[in-house]
A and B are shown apart, each in its own frame.
Chain A
Amino acid sequence: MQEWANQLCESRQFGSKMTDSKYFTTTKKGEIFELKAELNSDKKEKKKEAVKKVIASMTVGKDVSALFPDVVNCMQTDNLELKKLVYLYLMNYAKSQPDMAIMAVNTFVKDCEDPNPLIRALAVRTMGCIRVDKITEYLCEPLRKCLKDEDPYVRKTAAVCVAKLHDINAQLVEDQGFLDTLKDLISDSNPMVVANAVAALSEIAESHPNSNLMDLNPQTINKLLTALNECTEWGQIFILDCLANYTPRDDRESQSICERVTPRLSHANSAVVLSAVKVLMKFMEMLPKDLDYYGTLLKKLAPPLVTLLSAEPELQYVALRNINLIVQRRPEILKHEMKVFFVKYNDPIYVKLEKLDIMIRLASQANIAQVLAELKEYATEVDVDFVRKAVRAIGRCAIKVEQSAERCVSTLLDLIQTKVNYVVQEAIVVIKDIFRKYPNKYESVIATLCENLDSLDEPEARAAMIWIVGEYAERIDNADELLESFLEGFHDESTQVQLQLLTAIVKLFLKKPTETQELVQQVLSLATQDSDNPDLRDRGYIYWRLLSTDPVAAKEVVLAEKPLISEETDLIEPTLLEELICHIGTLASVYHKPPSAFVEGSRGVQHKRLPGSTGLGESLESPDTGSAAGGSDAPPAVIPSQGDLLGDLLNLDLTPPATTGPPPPPTSGMQLGAMDLLGGGLDSLLGGDLGGSSAMGAGFGAAPAASPASFSAPVSGGLDDLFDLGGGVGMPMGAYNPPKTVWLPAMKGKGLEISGTFARRAGIIQMEMTLINKAMSVMTDFAIQFNRNSFGIAPAGPLQVLTPLSPNQTIEVALPLNTVGPVMKMDPLNNLQVAVKNNIDVFYFSCQYPISVLFVEDGKMERQVFLATWKDIPNDNESQFQIKDCHLNSDAASSKLQGSNIFTIAKRTVDGQDMLYQSMKLTNSIWVLAELRVQAGNPTYTISLKCRAPEVSQCVFQTYEAVLKN
């Protein structure tokens, strides 16, 4: 080794070309020793070589933390390169060696006063990256000086350092008045300093959602707009993103900001352009539509958006995801730009799929011919996902542009002729939608569709085909044979197909009762007796009852005319769209999800809203208060996306029109399970008038069985079985989650019943609730709030009840929680007070969560640490409990507990008694240590708990009991 180092020095002296790669030479044992010696060498050059070797080792992932003191010793040098390397080392290892990191403080303080600004800046930049709480207070003075440094390079670095320090110790930063200094820097003479100050303040403001930290007012806005013209491209982005958070006082201010932001649309950097688009899209909301400037602005937005499509593919992708939002919010901007979204052969697949999506949104009568020609071209490509989407797109065009429907259908038929399996299936799915939109118009194609019956192997396509057969049963001679062929493998079909088959056969029966009686008996029996699926059983019983009690009503219900499906599918819900427009350019706009859905700890962060064009106050209200109306143009009505459409379709047959009458009288207990149930009903049906005259309509109201509550009793399992669908689903093995209990009875909730439980799934705490509307009117605008509680539990996002809750409707909601809310000790400790609001009132209730939801995944303590901690905690803090009637052996108990993040660290067996040593850690970093004693043959366990906060012991014991006994 020594020899190698000598050779190294020699070769350097001879001036041969050497590169850094030599430092990566594989190392041997004892190397650390040698490095240590070299680091302490008197020769500068040798020292530097040694530090380089250390950094190289660090880069390839070796642990060189043992050299910490030796490397820090090299810190005091006037060699800039060496200093940078030492600083780099410090950033990496300071956290693991907090005590030794203090050794570096003096040098930092000294370097912050170095005559060379590069060194001052380097010191202040590195200081902030040393995330050791202990040393932060030593750094305040140097930082304060650097914030006022004469050199802008140092000031701009110090500005960022404030954000770093805030991330480590927010309180310290506030106490030291750094936030005010940072605000002052917004008026700095140097644009780069302004930009970094804005960036730092924005970052800090993110963790203080409700503070008016940025204090944006017309004066600061003016300063920002001035700096915008002079700072780097990145600085421009910081400033634009900050501007986007401002709400102008009126339309005039809004216009003047827009005018000063518009030139940014000509910047070569796509990110600058997108951030400018965000500001403009947002502030445009405030401009009156009849203003000339409004029209001018609309026209100015199109060209830069189009140009973004010539950027690098990843940037194109971000642009396209955003254009997708923009087209939904302001379709007029790009309505003439269809051609630029035509797909090129060499586009990456993610670009192709996005372009396709936008093409459909822009399709109109004016351009439909071109669009269809393109789509047909794409449908003959080879990329399966792309082809499928292209076929779907043809169907969507048919629905959207009526004049093109016929051409779309014939294009789809051409595609079916290709016999490419997935193309055929996709085409059938969309043809079903076309039938829904234009009933009784294109049945001539049914024959062609039926030819392909055998090739359908995807549930969605099978379900679509079955729907078509059922819907047009009277025109398909062998409809019964076709449906019967599906019935053979009924139990192997997916639920979607089973449900559809059930409905289709009932339709067929109502249309052709004479030949199909056996078939309907068969399907009803398959659905109600041989199926474990409550949904299917439920529907089977409803049909059964309907057919047996009032066949005429059955006809009215099952064969009722369906509402036409509307034009646009896949539209983003308007309030979400508004929020996403405010996040243009960010990950949220790429995912089409609000930040709260994927950012941890974005607690109570306001959902951004577009400013309203009328009342400003509205948009400033809390996010819970419904939709703040945006511009005056009504956004198109939203209907569920493709997948849901089918579900919608299926339910359609069942949902009676929302008439509000008296609740149906409970019917007498019928023997629903009996096979002869149909008897009477069938006869009357067969004997009755099959013409379906309107006179029969009277019978409609007398179909009480359609109201689920009234017949639940006789069914095995009752209500729970039928409606508590969410209960047993998706429970990961291991973790015990208590069953739902009623938290808010309907009596107290003005018809709203809430039952729920808490669970920890994949590291996320969830409050899982079932909301049932037992009132007679629709419930909307749900929101939830928690009172302060012992562990700062708070909702991580808004309560997502997207659709209004209709009477008798049940909905399952999972609300993710975090533990960064305000803290107040509760009694009992795990008590949580909750307020739920809807359009009717605000309701309060309290519930208790099992403390195990707070047990984090990394709660396994090191053995040594466990021993030391156990000794360290005073005996007064120990509590003992007994768990009776527990028949698990110690291993089973251990694995069960592990599912709830109670980790067994060690096991000892003494005289036939197993002792398990266990640890768990709460979200607030409180450790609980446990000793569980299990005696073979004795159903009583003894448990001792030790914790620095003994008040949690009672709750922890309850958890043990619940987990072990369930």
Chain B
Amino acid sequence: NAASVLFLIYVVLAGQVLICRNYKGDVDMAEIDHFMPLLMQHEEEGLVSPVISHGSVHFLWIKHSNLYLVATTNKNSNASLVYSFLYKIVEVFTEYFKELEEESIQDNFVVVYELLDELMDFGFPQTTDSKILQEYITQEGAKLEVAKSKVPTTVTNAVSWRSEGIKYKKNEVFIDVIESINVLVNANGSVMSSDIVGSIKLKTMLSGMPELRLGLNDRVLFALTGRDKGKTVVMEDVKFHQCVRLSRFESDRTISFIPPDGESELMSYRINTHVKPLIWIESVIEKFSHSRVEIMVKAKGQFKKQSVANNVEVRVPVPSDADSPKFKTSTGNAKYVPEKNLVVWTIKSFPGGKEFLMRAHFGLPSVENDEAEGKPPITVKFEIPYFTVSGIQVRYMKIIEKSGYQALPWVRYITQSGDYQLRTNV
């Protein structure tokens, strides 16, 4: 069992309830009045937690822009289900109203109530696929009376993510393989941890109910089938969209599925192999109290010469009371972003093997800010197209539909920065 009552609270100082739905009637609606004061108290004490309890009532909450989504329960509820569900609500409402915010809720409160009714029943999440929901809950209810007066069979089908009767003139599927590099480097330059999180996204424009099979250069698959040609990749962990037949993958590593229409994330994977940080940063930050900060940053592209990293951003933290910035760069632009206490050095195009330099100089006030500041790391953002750092490849995408049409798969590769942090000494 999950939430007993679900509230959307919007935050002006007092924390007013914007809309709520009592699913089980076992928690007093007035309990929510305790939520904001408790949350603020915890924030003051620096002990924020995603679960707050008041007497026998527990509040499980997430924050989305200026809204708090709060589920309350007085049972031993499945907490991971509750949080997953809260995030799902954000997803569904965002797809319905573009933005989930105070205004969009008020402007659409009738639909919001209808959705809340369909998303969960008596604390059990029900249909949460927004594409399917849109088939029978629409924003212009009055006009489409006929269209939505029937339950789409999809709702209760085993294939609950794709409707029947979809038609495209040209049948195509676009596959994006996106790899994000997570790196944590210590101040002395040693790599503490690094991994690759990959994601395969689909944009499916296919008619009917197509059966798809995706082939990757997966080492386990190759070992199973006795093939050992070419480079293979070891995926440490794989996560699939609801549409993929998990037992089939478990038994013979085949990725087979009927895809959702339009855009979706088919799978994600994690690779543990140690990768050289693609953009290496060396920094010297010297802080002379009451006078100045001097920053020198060297960035080096540690990837193939033929590749180019685009939109590279090196974000270097500076003290909050720094002033009068001066920059010198060997390429690109450096900018001071005072509201974030950062210098952002942007390099539009960064070829592999190259090395660039940035120097910054800041003044410090003679009376120093005595509030202790943390030691934020240097972070880096970049994208390298036409290349995956792990070497993963889409070997084939088979598309079979009973009408027998020919469909084309298009594949794109990109490597980008994920959580890319380099600690500094200052």
Contact = CB atoms under 8 A, between A and B. Distances in A.
A372 B78 CA distance: 35
A303 interface: yes
Interface in A78-119: 79-81, 84-85, 88, 91, 95, 116-118
Contacts of A129: 25, 122
Interface in B68-112: 73-81, 83-87, 103, 106-110
Interface string B48-84: 1111010110101010000000000111111111011
B78 A241 contact: yes
A203 B142 CA distance: 37
A136 to B, nearest CB: 13
Contacts of A600: 56, 74
B250 A587 contact: no
Given A129-B25, A152-B156, A384-B46, A203 B246 contact: no
B268 A52 contact: no
B423 interface: yes
A270 B81 CA distance: 8
A268 B239 contact: yes
Contacts of A585: 78-81
Given A342-B192, A344-B421, A588-B76, A313 B50 contact: yes
Interface stretch (B144-152, B279-287, B326-334, B361-369): B144-152
A705 B102 CA distance: 72
A588 to B, nearest CB: 5
B141 interface: yes
Contact of A348 (B48, B148, B150): B48
A958 interface: no
Interface string A546-557: 000000000000
A56 B158 contact: no
A13 to B, nearest CB: 13
Contacts of A24: 106
B306 interface: no
Interface in A255-274: 260, 262-264, 266-271, 274
Contact of A268 (B62, B236, B240): B240
Given A342-B192, A600-B56, A234 B109 contact: no
A156 interface: yes
Interface stretch (B163-171, B371-379, B386-394, B405-413): B371-379
Interface in A281-326: 303-304, 306-307, 310, 312-315, 317-319
A49 B68 CA distance: 29
Contacts of A312: 62, 83, 87
B156 A20 contact: no
Interface string A55-66: 110010100000
Contacts of A266: 237-240, 246, 249-250
A438 interface: no
B12 to A, nearest CB: 14
Contacts of A91: 22
Contacts of A382: 372-375
A191 interface: yes
Given A350-B49, A599-B74, A340 B193 contact: yes
Interface string B12-49: 00000101001011100000000000000000001111
Interface stretch (B123-131, B219-227, B350-358): B123-131
Give the interface SS of chain A, mostly helix, strand, loop or mixed: helix
Given A263-B246, A587-B76, A163 B240 contact: no
Contacts of A432: none
Given A153-B156, A312-B62, A116 B149 contact: yes
A303 B270 contact: yes
B304 interface: no
B129 to A, nearest CB: 8
Contacts of B125: 234
B247 A59 contact: no
B242 A271 contact: no
Given A156-B156, A312-B83, A344-B419, A21 B107 contact: yes
29 contacts: A21-B106, A55-B110, A81-B114, A118-B136, A131-B25, A151-B151, A151-B156, A160-B121, A206-B75, A234-B126, A266-B250, A268-B267, A303-B237, A306-B236, A315-B83, A315-B87, A317-B50, A342-B192, A345-B374, A350-B47, A381-B375, A382-B372, A384-B46, A385-B46, A587-B75, A590-B51, A590-B79, A599-B75, A602-B76
Interface of A: 19-21, 23-24, 48, 52, 55-56, 59, 61, 79-81, 84-85, 88, 91, 95, 116-118, 121, 125, 128-129, 131, 151-153, 156-157, 160, 163-164, 167, 190-193, 196, 199-200, 202-203, 206, 229-234, 237-238, 241, 260, 262-264, 266-271, 274-275, 303-304, 306-307, 310, 312-315, 317-319, 339-340, 342, 344-346, 348-350, 370, 373-374, 377, 380-385, 583, 585-591, 595, 598-600, 602, 762-763
Interface of B: 1, 17, 19, 22, 24-26, 46-51, 53, 55-56, 58, 60, 62, 73-81, 83-87, 103, 106-110, 113-114, 117, 121-128, 136, 141-142, 145, 148-151, 155-156, 158, 160, 184, 186-187, 192-193, 195, 197, 236-242, 245-247, 249-250, 265, 267-268, 270, 372-377, 419, 421, 423
